[in-house]
Amino acid sequence: MADIILGIESSCDDTSAAVIKDRVLLSNVIASQDVHRAYGGVVPELASRAHEQNIVPVVSEALARAAVSASELTAIAFTRGPGLLGSLLVGTSFAKALGLALDIPIVSVNHLQGHVLANFVRQEGVQVREPSFPYLCLLVSGGNSQIVKVNSPLDFEILGQTIDDAVGEAFDKCSKMMGLGYPGGPIIDRLAKQGDPKRFSFAKPHIPGLDYSFSGVKTSLLYFVRDEMAKDPDFMEKNKEDICASFQKTLIDILMDKLVKAAKQTGIKEITIGGGVSANSGLRTRISEEGAKRGWNVYLPEFKFTTDNAAMIAIAGYFHYLAGERCPLDAAPVSRIAEL
Ligand code: KG4
């Protein structure tokens, strides 16, 4: 008999529910929270409240779109962390209550594992290429920048990670600093398409091994803009496309340098990307070009699976469920998870 899993994601500012039947996606509903835009970043308390308002309608909609009744569910997979504690509490409590009411098991999922496994979501009528194990995943989001070696759907090794800011944070904070808006990634991505990536250069970090650092490049941009604006107050407005293109290129160079190094060190040529920043058009082009040059098999997730979504939580939960893992009812959400 098929396993039907309801996935629930509430780690940050998207309330999402998805239904999969074995590995095939039946529905994936995402309610994004626009309330944060006015504040230039996610306000944790507002996020929890919005999750509380959204969770019941979002789950109902996911079941309706999947044409699955709650009584047909085999298990519920939910994001236990990392993320904002108040946001995680909503999804965790909801999953527990629904699991109890339906008398079915619940499975907890590490949000990052969801991003790393997003390529395994199958869709009716869509040809999806799946990486073979072991593969490397460049996991890049607002909270993380890591190179993960994925040995199996349940076995992950972090080969390198940021020692300070995440790359998504660099996009978001710099966009805010340049007065371009929030979230910064998509805005800088759009402006960068019209600019010259070689016009300006920003400092790159020298970090040993496979770890990343993005705080230096952020500061480099800050000083550059401050100095140029002192000479010409319109500098930003006149040059924003070139600044964005050059800044984005610097971030991509930093990401790619270590990814190339990791691929060389491990001899792995199966390469994926995941997390919100994997939607970046410059990064997607660059990783594909680098892959063609180096004989990698590159797997790019569909855009809808790059940012937070419950489909990836459902698929990660499915693998845990098959392995016999069950989450106890006293499990609390965790805001930080040091290890995948
Ligand atoms: O994975 P995600 O939705 O949330 C978590 O951080 O968990 O990632 C959000 C991040 C934000 O920093 C956002 O600016 C970035 O992903 N992002 C992008 C793009 N789309 C979203 N960054 C660069 N280019 C994009 N097109």
pLDDT given for residue 340 in this prediction: 52
Nearest protein Cα to ligand 1, atom 21: 276
DSSP label of 208: S
From 321, 230, 305, select the one nearest 273 (Cα to Cα): 305
Region of poorest pLDDT, from 79-88, 205-214, 318-327, 330-339: 330-339
Rounded-to-integer distance, Cα 44 and Cα 325, Å? 30
Residue 176, sorted as left (phi over 0), alpha (psi -120 to 50) or beta, turns out to be: alpha
Pocket of ligand 1 (CB under 6 A): 12, 141-143, 168, 171-172, 183-186, 189, 275-277, 279-280, 307-308
Phi and psi dihedrals of 328, rounded to 5? -70, 155
Angle at 189 between CA 206 and CA 215, to 5 degrees: 30
Å from CA of 199 to ligand 1 middle: 25
- Higher pLDDT pick, 339 / 165: 165
Å from CA of 209 to ligand 1 middle: 25
In single-letter form, the type of residue at position 45 comes to E
In single-letter form, the type of residue at position 66 comes to A
Q: What is the pLDDT of residues 46-72, one digit of tens each?
A: 999 999 999 999 999 999 999 999 999
Query: What confidence category does residue 282 fall into, taking pLDDT thresholds of 50, 70 and 90?
Result: very high
Q: Closest ligand 1 atom, CA of 171?
A: 14
Query: What confidence category does residue 277 fall into, taking pLDDT thresholds of 50, 70 and 90?
Result: very high
Structure tokens at 180: 């371009």
Contact 127, 325 (CB under 8 A): no
Average pLDDT over residues 244-265: 98
End-to-end CA separation in angstroms for the chain: 31
Å from CA of 186 to ligand 1 middle: 7
Query: What confidence category does residue 274 fall into, taking pLDDT thresholds of 50, 70 and 90?
Result: very high
Q: Measured in whole angstroms, how far is the alpha carbon of residue 131 from the centre of its chain?
A: 18
Å from CA of 140 to ligand 1 middle: 8
Å from CA of 117 to ligand 1 middle: 17
Contact 241, 197 (CB under 8 A): no
Q: What is the pLDDT of residues 302-311, one digit of tens each?
A: 999 998 999 9
Q: Which residues of 255-266 are buried (b: 16+ CB within 10 A; e: fewer)?
A: bbebbeebbeeb
Å from CA of 307 to ligand 1 middle: 6
Domains of the chain by start residue, with CATH: 4-127+305-322 (3.30.420.40), 135-301 (3.30.420.40)
Rounded-to-integer distance, Cα 271 and Cα 288, Å? 10
Q: What whole-number percentage of the chain has pLDDT above 90? A: 91
Contact 287, 253 (CB under 8 A): no
Residue for token pair 């979230």: 183
Mutate to test the pocket of ligand 1, among 30, 87, 171, 218 (most ligand atoms within 8 A of CB): 171
Chain-wide mean pLDDT for the chain?
95
Å from CA of 323 to ligand 1 middle: 31
State the greatest distance between any 2 C-alpha atoms of the chain, in Å, as a whole number.
Answer: 70
In single-letter form, the type of residue at position 76 comes to I
Rounded-to-integer distance, Cα 112 and Cα 133, Å? 17
Rounded-to-integer distance, Cα 275 and Cα 187, Å? 17
Nearest protein Cα to ligand 1, atom 13: 185
Structure tokens at 63: 């079941």
Q: What is the pLDDT of residues 104-123, one digit of tens each?
A: 999 999 999 999 999 999 99
**Sign of the alpha-carbon torsion through 82, 84, 89, 90:** negative
Query: What confidence category does residue 339 fall into, taking pLDDT thresholds of 50, 70 and 90?
Result: low
pLDDT given for residue 32 in this prediction: 86
Question: What is this structure's pTM?
Answer: 0.94
Q: What is the pLDDT of residues 3-16, one digit of tens each?
A: 999 999 999 989 99
Q: Closest ligand 1 atom, CA of 166?
A: 12
Rounded-to-integer distance, Cα 319 and Cα 104, Å? 16
Rounded-to-integer distance, Cα 270 and Cα 291, Å? 9
In single-letter form, the type of residue at position 254 comes to I
In single-letter form, the type of residue at position 70 comes to A
Q: Closest ligand 1 atom, CA of 248?
A: 23
